Chains A and B, each alone.
Chain A
Amino acid sequence: MHRSWLVAQYEYKRLASQKSFILVLLSVPLLISLIIGLGVVMERLENNDAPVGYVDKAGLLADPIAAPQRASAPDSPGVPGLVTLLPFQTEEEARQALESRRIQAYYVVAEDYLKTNRVDLVYIEPPGENVNRQFWDFMQINRLSELPPEIARRAVAGSNLTVRWPEDMPGGGREFSQRTFINNFLPMIAGLALIILLFISSGYLMQVVVEEKENRTIEILVTSVTPNQLIGGKVLGIIGVALTQVVAWIVFLALVVFIGGDYLGVGFLRNLWVDPRTLLTLVAFALPSYVMIAALMASVGALVSEAQEAQQTTGLFALPIWAPYWLLALIIEYPDSPVSIGLTLFPLTALSTLSFRLAMAPVPTWQIALSLTLLILCAVGAVWLAGRAFRFGMVRYGQGLRWRDLVALGTGQLARPLPGGQHG
């Protein structure tokens, strides 16, 4: 155990001082801020805050009632602010204002509006979606002028809808409303961040093993540690690095929430919150996933003889791990379909699939328990397999990795000297 610890310490120090470690440390928060930023830009593109004019030929809007702010819904990140509505006496005036870009568009309420319902919209560039909605509401509330104002306002604004899952089910009591909009995506973002981390760090472990093999360091190492101690220590070191990154991200996120929410008053940051049970479940899945993938990658590293070959073999793991992202639409739309359940139970896809399903819909407890058990069993199996791969692979040079070898490794066939292989 002491020697595993030494290996782990060495691995940790070496990885944490790498340039790429710092790059990864920064890249994920950057990526996430970029995604959020793009979302905000899209939102801005759709809405336009410039004033809008109107010409009332029907005489309906002599003493207009302002349109109310629309009520909030759980499926939208925010309600756009109201734009200023400017009355114009004649169409010419409105048109001049439009051409001089003082307004983004203008509406003309037709003389025979009460009969035909006709309203003309004139623009150079189409106005934002918020404008269409607001003017609709404006006309609506002004046609309900006989109602008490607060009743009319409520009828036009609609309901502030909050959706809740019943308390007596897994993940129960969770609420969805406009305030929690961003929170809905947090499990998915957390899952993605964990998987990127898993990939980069375990890929790195593989490179380390191949390099040590290429420059024959490994032959010196095995004179003083057993292969099992070596693999155990390396996996431990990688997990340490991964945990450091996770802690750094959480601190970064906490800082953003603290500074952005409390000091700058960004509304959605103040409401940022994930169900601790969801987070705990994800972490519980991430740890064995790490051990499993790291061990598998390390065994590939031990079996191949060149860094380039190792990189190509990574595809073997990358394909199933990213598969849930290809099938994202299917999992989101049918979180309880056999495909989603199958992907939840399969160890390589469990983490990512679960991160979607926990975000979308309640996941039955038995599925979580079964999947976690399978994952832990596989992780133990992978470490055992990696130990064997180290024992037999580390003095193996100049041979490509074949499927046959992997099968033979599992059944213990590789214990015999390899035919045609050069032995260091």
Chain B
Amino acid sequence: MGKIWLVLRHEIRTTLGSKSFLFLTFGLPALFSLVFLAVTALSRGASGIPGGAGGAGDPSRLQVEGYVDQSGLVKAIPTSVPRDILVPYPDEAAAREALRAGEVAAYYVIAADYVASGDLLYVNPKYNFATSRGQSWVMRQTLFANLLGNDAERIARAARPMDVKVTALSPAQDTRDEDNPATFFVPYISMMLLYVVILMAASLLLNSVATEKKNRVMEILLSSVSPRQMLTGKIVGLGLLGLLQTAIWMGTGYTFLLLGGQTLQLPAGFTLPPSILIWGFVFFLLGYAVYASLMAGLGALVPNLREASQAVILVIWPLIIPLMLSSILIEKPHDPLATVLSIFPLTAPIAMITRLAAGGVPWWQPLLAVGLLVITALIIIRAVANTFRAQTLLSGQPFTVGRYWAALLGRG
């Protein structure tokens, strides 16, 4: 026990003293904060740019546009469209000239066979396909009204053909409120957070083992500590550092959320149960135990750090799967695929926390996932302790997948 404590203290001290750890822990949040502040300041300044977001439905920001009606369909401009913002032109050349002279911001060309083809051309120099639709809704409304013969009663009747009342026959499963971005971002952020934390803490371990192996400190250490003591000390010590890092990151994020005057707009029915913090902690510990041990096993086998970073992908791919399928986990947390991912031990830490944050998970599922994870963690730690033998730790053989599995299975 005393030796484990020594290893633990040494790990914490050396890691805290390393520049790259300090940069990741303090420098990166500071850098992100700076970028965040700059972006907020700039986007506030930039929001005055005309034609930027082109707020649909805000009449004060509507621009004057021209139109060329080759179909002869437009007889009148409906009352819902502000006056004088649609200017008719006899042909496209005239409209183009007006656009060049700055009289109109854009112009439309309604095709001669519009009723049959529906073709509408919108010439707009400010059009940005990712953000602005321009204000083409003005022309759509005008065309709609004119197709309906500008009959106010008919337009009112067709514009809103039904008021839907929804009855769901599955009372147990609450559905996601798609209009509220928080119901997407809360699970998504929980997922990313757990992913980053597990991965970072686990890579600290990989670095530590691979470095000590490379500069032969390992040889001296092994003369006085058993491999198992060393592994335990390292896992616990670096896990604590990982927690510290997370705390600092989350603290920074939270401060900035408050400073920016932004709060997550959670809908009335959407509450984040406090139990999720406890679950988050439990899944972090177990996920860390599994992945840190796997990384340590990797570190024990690779001859140098360069090969280590290439071999990492071998270990972390199960963690990436839930990230790739994040949309399914969030949109359909009760899909069989989501359930399987959240119970399978290697993907469970991330997938389960996402589902828990999305809500409505039966109580037995997280318990089952935790149980399976505990068993997996125990098996993996045992297996990795096996690889932590002088024989593998001191060899300089190149890393291969075959050797990794053989070592984990105790045949190395």
Binding site for B on A (CB under 8 A): 34, 38, 41-42, 45, 71, 74-75, 98-99, 107, 109, 113, 116-126, 132, 135-136, 139-140, 143-144, 147, 150-151, 154-155, 157-166, 168-169, 176, 184, 207, 307-308, 311-312, 326-327, 330, 332-339, 360-362
Contacts and interface: CB of A to CB of B under 8 A. Distances in A.
Interface in B371-402: none
B125 A122 contact: no
* Max chain A Cβ within 10 angstroms of own Cβ: one of B139, B143, B165, B175: B165
19 contacts: A41-B327, A45-B328, A98-B169, A107-B164, A117-B160, A119-B163, A122-B169, A125-B170, A147-B147, A160-B120, A162-B121, A163-B136, A165-B124, A166-B99, A207-B306, A307-B305, A308-B304, A308-B306, A339-B38
A74 B165 contact: no
Given A184-B129, A339-B42, A154 B118 contact: yes
Contacts of B53: 333
Contact of B164 (A119, A308, A361): A119
A150 B116 contact: yes
A160 B110 CA distance: 10
A161 to B, nearest CB: 5
A143 B125 contact: no
A118 B167 CA distance: 13
Interface of B: 20, 35, 38-39, 42-43, 46, 49, 52-53, 96, 99-100, 114-131, 133-134, 136, 139-140, 143-144, 147-149, 154, 157-158, 160-170, 175, 304-306, 309, 324, 327-328, 331-332
Contacts of B119: 159-160, 162
Contact of A337 (B49, B158, B327): B49
Nearest to B149: A147
* Max chain A Cβ within 10 angstroms of own Cβ: one of B35, B154, B161, B331: B161
A178 to B, nearest CB: 11
A158 B168 contact: no
A147 B151 CA distance: 12
Contacts of A41: 327
* Max chain A Cβ within 10 angstroms of own Cβ: one of B20, B127, B157: B127
Given A123-B169, A143-B161, A155-B147, 9 more contacts: A117-B160, A118-B163, A122-B167, A123-B166, A123-B168, A164-B121, A311-B306, A334-B52, A337-B46
Contact of B161 (A123, A140, A154, A168): A140
A344 to B, nearest CB: 15
A118 B165 contact: yes
Contacts of B168: 122-124, 126
A322 to B, nearest CB: 12
B158 A144 contact: yes
A176 B96 contact: no
A168 B332 CA distance: 48
Contacts of A136: 161-162
A236 to B, nearest CB: 25
Contacts of B175: 126
Contacts of A119: 162-165
Contacts of A161: 120, 122, 136
A70 to B, nearest CB: 10
Given A71-B118, A144-B158, A330-B39, A163 B170 contact: no
A143 B118 contact: no
Contacts of A107: 164
Contacts of B167: 120-123
* Closest 7 pairs (CB-CB, A-B): A139-B161, A159-B120, A155-B147, A119-B162, A140-B161, A160-B118, A337-B46
A163 B129 CA distance: 9
Given A126-B175, A151-B115, A330-B43, A75 B133 contact: yes
Contact of B39 (A117, A307, A312, A327): A327
A266 B327 CA distance: 25
Nearest to A340: B46
Nearest to A312: B20
Given A151-B115, A333-B52, A121 B165 contact: yes
Contact of A120 (B114, B117, B123, B165): B165
A316 to B, nearest CB: 12
B99 A150 contact: no
A151 B127 contact: no
A139 B162 contact: yes
Contacts of B99: 166
B129 A360 contact: yes
Given A158-B140, A162-B121, A143 B147 contact: no
A144 B154 contact: yes
Contact of A157 (B39, B118, B123, B128): B118
Contacts of B100: 166, 168
B163 A169 contact: no
A164 B332 CA distance: 38
A118 B122 CA distance: 36
Contacts of B140: 158-159
A154 B127 contact: no
Contact of B120 (A42, A162, A169): A162
B31 to A, nearest CB: 8
Contacts of B304: 307-308
Contact of B332 (A45, A120, A132, A311): A45
B123 A164 contact: yes
Nearest to A331: B130
Contacts of B324: 34, 38
A82 to B, nearest CB: 16
A157 B131 CA distance: 24
B164 A121 contact: yes
A159 B147 contact: no
Contact of B122 (A124, A163, A335, A336): A163
Given A117-B163, A120-B165, A161-B120, A169 B170 contact: no
B148 A144 contact: yes
Contacts of A113: 162
B117 A160 contact: yes
A38 B171 CA distance: 30
Contacts of A75: 129, 133
Contact of A164 (B38, B122, B148, B165): B122
A334 B20 CA distance: 34
A45 B327 contact: yes
* Max chain B Cβ within 10 angstroms of own Cβ: one of A154, A168, A311: A154
Given A143-B157, A150-B115, A333 B43 contact: yes
* Max chain B Cβ within 10 angstroms of own Cβ: one of A99, A122, A311, A333: A333
* Max chain B Cβ within 10 angstroms of own Cβ: one of A98, A162, A307: A162
Contacts of A74: 129
Nearest to A132: B164
Contacts of A122: 167-169
B114 A154 contact: yes
A337 B39 CA distance: 11
B72 to A, nearest CB: 14
Contacts of A165: 123-125, 127
Nearest to B136: A161
B39 A334 contact: no
A155 B175 CA distance: 33
Contact of A332 (B20, B114, B131): B131
